[in-house]
A and B are shown apart, each in its own frame.
Chain A
Amino acid sequence: MKDLKNAGRYYAHYFKKYRLGFLVASLMIAFSTWCIVVAPTYLGEAVKELTSYLQLWGNPATRATANFDAFHRTLIIYILLYVGDASTIFIASLIFARISAFATGTMRIGLFRKMQRMRVQYFDRHSDGDILARYTSDLDNIFNAMNQALLEVFLAVAQFVGILIMMFRENTTLAWVTMASTPIALIVAAFVMKKAGTTVDRQQDDIGRLNGYINEQITGQKVIITNGLQQDSVRGFQGYNETVRKSALSGQIWSGILNPLMQGMSLLNLAIVIFVGSWLALSGTMSQGAALALVVVFVNYASQYYQPIISLTSLYGMIQLAITGARRIDEVRSQPDETRPVNGKDLTGIDHDLVLDDVHFSYLPGKEILHGVSLQVAKGEMVALVGPTGSGKTTVMNLLNRFYDVDSGAILFDGTDVREFDLTALRAHVGIVLQDPQLFTGTIADNIRYGDPEASMARVIDAAKQANIHEFIESLPEGYETTVSDEQSVFSAGQKQLMSIARTILTDPQLLILDEATSNVDTVTEAKIQAAMDNVIAGRTSFVIAHRLKTILNADKIIVLKDGTIIEEGSHDALLKENGFYAELYHNQMVFE
């Protein structure tokens, strides 16, 4: 119920803009419904006219007066009514098609904008797949529901009301007869839908597990083959497969019988109406023509009466998905944005120093990661952060350009708290090179000038040269115009890091944060990365999460972090003399003979 209310609010928000469209479409639908429900009476009328024509014609005395005028008149009205129906439905469909497409577009762009404003924390806590599903499956479900259900729902409701009105105006008794089976149909539908809901859920769970198994096994096929586990794998698969057979069977049956059941109920109802109607017509005082016309009219009504109910029940699943989709997108919309200071100070450069002053930080409340980290870095110094996994190295990096904010304490550039700077200005001056850098679909040149799309080709090439990747790029058939994407890359992991360095060099940042790549780089590329790093670090204030000894040796200052506290600080020689944690770490790496 809460979901329904939220979904209501969600859609109201996006539909507000289309108020006029909804109004016009509603009027169109009301008119078309009027046409549809009125039309059968004219058909009945036409039959009546024909009957009386036949009677007049059959009697030689009145044969001369028999004419088709009345018949033709009613028939023309009948046809005009359907022309009216078709054209109004056409207009309403156009409006709804437009609303569905454009409202989904607004939602999609809104979601993307929101994503760009949200805190990094959200992305760290949610899986990419889950967030991406908002674009792929949730928005898709919403569009499909709008596209198919909007018109249907409006039509169904209007038709239902229209037919009720017409039936009662025509003949109260027959109207009640037509409606008599409705409660039974609704109870049956509710029961079947509930069953379908639970069985389909179970089916989806089982299919999910089966797919998970297949995915895990086939992706690990090398292990299966090298261990000769093929038969085991097939045996394991059969268990999941048979479970799916059973649960999917009941899922398919329960969700499949709703339609035949409701269609059947409709036929049954029609039979009841015909039966009772003809009986009433014969037992009553009506003329034959009138009785026949009444039956014809009600046959029409009865077959139309169930259509709205059938279409609403068949749309149920789709609407359910759209409600879930709205909930999931709304969840993202309600996330907090990054905090930006009002009238933030402009940052032009770091002239003196950078200070971390008793910084405490926790990702989750109560689980503090940094316990009072303080350090001072003078302009132009290079700091190497060293420490075991989980010591808080990356966390320090996350605070410098405000991916996260400190719990207490402060980070100061030339004495000004980073939170007081304009966020855009701050980030423009803090460059970052990540361990696993993301490349974007586009040319290599576009990727290098990512931070400054206006940069000239000369600057792009210069950056690539400094990053030691120019030669490789030139060796590609299309050079700088080679298209890359993150999935389909011409670059190895090491070369990607070089690209990332080039990208950062181009923006000429005041403060540099560098997360060294650790794995999967052969030693030749490693040497290139080292040289590129030296180039980018030169003359800049920089923080490096260092894994390589050479980087550490070059540092002006080594900070050893362990469990969120700085335990040692100083130059390489000084730290070795201390013979503490760093010395041990160092000697451990030095198994080399």
Chain B
Amino acid sequence: MKVLVPYLKRYRKDGVFATLSVLVLVFATLWQPRLLQVVMEAILKNDKHAVLVNGIWLLVLAAVGIVAGILNTVYSARVALGVATDLRADLYAKVQTLAYADIEKFSASNLVVRMTNDINQVQQIVMAFFQQVTRIPLLFLGAFALALTTMPEQWWVIIAMMVIIIGVSLVAFRRMGKYFAQTQMDIEKVNTLARENLMGIRVVKSFVQEPTEIKKFSAASDRLTDVTARIGYLFAVLMPAFFMTANLAIGVSVFLVGQSITVHPTYLAAITSFISYLNQILFAVINGGFMLTFASRALVSLGRLREVFDTQPSMAYPTTGEVADLPGDITFDHVTFTYPGDAAPTLKDVSFSVKAGQMVGIVGATGSGKTTLAQLIARLYDPDTGTVRIGGVDVRDLPEKTIRNTVAYVLQRSTLFSGTIAGNLKQVQPSATLPRMQWAAGIAQAAEFIDLLPDAYDAPVEERSANFSGGQKQRLSITRGVIADPEILILDDATSALDARSEKLVQEALDRELTSTTVVCIAEKISSILRADEILVLDDGALVGVGTHHELVRNNPVYQEIYATQKAREEGI
């Protein structure tokens, strides 16, 4: 709840108006039966004037109720959306301060859910709070008090009614909680089966397993049907039980009024308003129950939001210090790194150094730590022990901007953001001119297809860059990587979807155009790193070889093994 307070304060005025209008609304709702009673008494007394005056009051009260109801909705919506929008904005800004490891800890999809669904839950509960939460207790207390002043002797009828209703609900909801949990599991099971069959429809069909799958699905579906029906039956008992209890209470009250009518003849006129109050109490209790379950869901969401707010970025950058241009030398000094939550280190005591302007290849089996090593250069993570230096400086002592200006990282899974090609390039270099973009695209061998697009550099990039092929995406990614002429360029298997000829052309262009840039090239194919000045061979997190292709082929067993599986390509000649 504490998370919400500062946001609620920001919309204090709207909140006050929402509450005031709810008070007016409650007053109007509660007062109406009382006025009705006065009118009835006037009829009994044959007092036309009183009927007229109080009748007009009734109309005014109803009109006030409508206005108050509308105002309450408007102000509640303003508070709710204000809080939700600001909360989302702060949450998003917070997430952007986090280190990559923190994001991974939550997982991206989980963070997205928090920013969408959870915020939405909070928005709804805030809205409901200003519409209902103040109203329900007020209506309840008001109706209770007024009912008591109407017929004080019958207090126990009201209490008895409430005890029965709350008791029945408690019993029912305990059962229901069990069923709801069951439903959730069954729904997941059904959805998983549906999704698997959708994605694997070719497998199902080619193995002719349609009948088996239908049987499996029907069984899961039937279980879901069964438990939803059970919940339905419980609700089927609940509602009529509530209303019958209320009506029995009314019957009892009327009976009691009859018994004492000679003592309290005015109660005759009070019956109708007493019934109204009983009904209002009933509705308040039922709605209160619903609000409680609703609020408990929102509390869970709030907790999940607070978890994000409370996360301290696991990596801090020095805020002082000049943003400087560094040369592209890279040094790893006894670097060991373990992923959070892993038992064994992914990099084990890795040491090497690379001079500015060189090309370094990194090879090794999947899981040997190639990407991890590259990520430490870009300071996506910090090593457990040892030091990573760029241009001779420990990366932990560099302002964030210096690292980002110095190191460009091109991922194998190229992510472009929806917008235009130029938009994506200008994100990295806002001042990029058309010739500059053409230069960069030329290096990445992307110019050939960009020039064919009707809008060239203003061509749209769709979500997930779905309008480009895998090879085109990679080439656009490389374009983005080189546009700012970085001192260090990391290509993390970034040419895997390129054919051999294009890959060669990219490398030649890098050599020619980015002479002072250190290129770190992670590759599955040895052919991609043949030209490297130095190749690092990783095996299970350890650096087991450094040298040129010719040296490694001669003296490095791990390299030889990798080479052997690829060399086969040659043998056919």
Contact = CB atoms under 8 A, between A and B. Distances in A.
B228 A104 contact: yes
Classify chain B: how many residues form its interface, as a range: 35 or more
Interface string A247-276: 011001100110011011101111110110
Given A217-B417, A403-B202, A68 B258 contact: yes
B203 A281 contact: no
B27 interface: no
Candidate in A143, A219, A439, A440 with the most chain B CB atoms within 10 angstroms: A440
**Which of A90, A117, A223 has the most CB atoms of chain B within a 10 A radius of its CB?**
A223
B257 A50 contact: yes
Tell me the dominant secondary structure on chain A's binding face. helix
Interface stretch (A160-168, A412-420, A422-430, A456-464): A422-430
Contact of B240 (A89, A117, A279): A89
Interface stretch (A7-15, A74-82, A309-317, A475-483): A74-82
Contacts of A180: none
Contact of B407 (A96, A220, A226, A432): A226
A467 B225 CA distance: 41
B236 A94 contact: yes
B342 interface: no
Among B76, B231, B247, B407, the most chain A Cβ lie within 10 Å of the Cβ of: B247
Most buried by B among A75, A101, A549, A586: A101
A451 B463 contact: no
Interface string B251-263: 1001101110110
A98 B496 CA distance: 56
A244 interface: yes
Contact of A218 (B103, B213, B251, B566): B103
Given A428-B208, A450-B207, A218 B268 contact: no
Nearest to A438: B200
B427 A229 contact: yes
B232 A147 contact: yes
Contacts of A98: 229, 232-233
B202 A228 contact: no
A252 B127 contact: yes
A299 interface: yes
Categorize the interface residue count of chain A.
Answer: 35 or more
B73 A109 contact: no
Interface stretch (A287-295, A366-374, A534-542): A287-295
A82 B245 CA distance: 10
Contacts of B95: 218
Contacts of B237: 90
A448 to B, nearest CB: 12
B248 interface: yes
Nearest to B257: A50
Contact of B203 (A221, A269, A296, A438): A438
B103 to A, nearest CB: 5
B568 A549 contact: yes
B500 A588 contact: yes
Interface in A85-111: 85-87, 89-90, 93-94, 96-98, 100-102, 104-105, 108-109
B66 A97 contact: no
Interface in B268-294: 268-269, 271-272, 275
A193 to B, nearest CB: 15
A230 interface: yes
B565 interface: yes
A342 interface: no
A257 B93 contact: no
Given A225-B100, A588-B499, A590-B573, A274 B55 contact: yes
B325 interface: no
8 contacts: A50-B261, A217-B417, A244-B85, A248-B84, A260-B73, A486-B200, A524-B561, A588-B501
